[in-house]
Amino acid sequence: MARIIVVEDDIYMREELIDLLNKSGYEALSISNFENPVSHILELAPDLILLDINLPYQSGFEICKSLKAKGVGNILMLTARDKLQDELHALGLGADDYLTKPCNMERLLARIKNLLRRTSENEHQGLLDGGNFRIDPNTFTIYIDKTSYILPPNEGKLLLTLLKNSPNVVTKSELCHAIWNTNEFIDENALQVNFTRLRKTLRNFGIDDPIETVRGQGYRLREWVNL
């Protein structure tokens, strides 16, 4: 069941949307505390977000920009603002669709269904499977359960190189080539810093220490990662 978060400060509109979505077979939740909405949304790990623009504390534009920077997809702006410049601004920030209120509810449901279907199709195309995670080799977006996160370039290159060579050991010079495009070993500390950051990122998503250090040889993903 897809989870949809409604970010709307009008209580009557919010309740109407929640009721519609629940009756349409979705798990619908809402955000009512608008002081720090991005953190609440990330904790709920939604499949799609219905986002108003005119909100207290932060505008929907700001929230959309913050969510997209954290790799969150499927944002449908649902707002009373019907100016073309607002729509273009929202889409420029990464919003996936834009509808003005009041809108036909059947049209809204059709847009939601289309966005969710598109995401489902895209998630299974071109992703590399690491067992308990998947990674997009082009964007370094890592998918873990219902959560997605865009890895910084160096972390993404490290994980991708280890995954492509798993279960074999990858030498330090090969990893240096992957990150800095040189076969010469750069610096032990520079490589270790990137590994420390990658391990921390994976640990935050519940993947505890998947990278094995093979003394005198290099690194590899532990066998249990590739199921």
Structure tokens, 83: 């100016």
The whole-number pLDDT of residue 227 equals 36
Please choose, from the candidates 126, 217, 216, the residue with its C-alpha nearest in 3D space to the C-alpha of residue 168.
217
The CA distance from 38 to 69, in Å, is 11
Q: What's the pLDDT tens digit per position in 170-216? A: 988 888 888 887 655 566 678 888 899 999 888 888 888 789 888 88
Q: Which CATH class is domain 3-123?
A: alpha beta
The whole-number pLDDT of residue 33 equals 81
Q: CATH number of 128-225: 3.90.1410.10, 1.10.10.10, 3.40.50.1970, 3.90.700.10?
A: 1.10.10.10
The CA distance from 8 to 180, in Å, is 45
- Helices 153-165 and 188-204: crossing angle, nearest 10°? 90
Q: What's the pLDDT tens digit per position in 142-151? A: 888 767 788 8
Tell me which of 147 and 53 has the higher pLDDT.
53
Taking CA atoms, 177 is separated from 24, 140, 161, 171, 181, in Å, by 50, 17, 10, 10, 4
Q: What's the pLDDT tens digit per position in 106-139? A: 989 998 988 888 766 555 557 888 888 888 888 8
Spans of all domains in the chain: 3-123, 128-225
pTM: 0.55
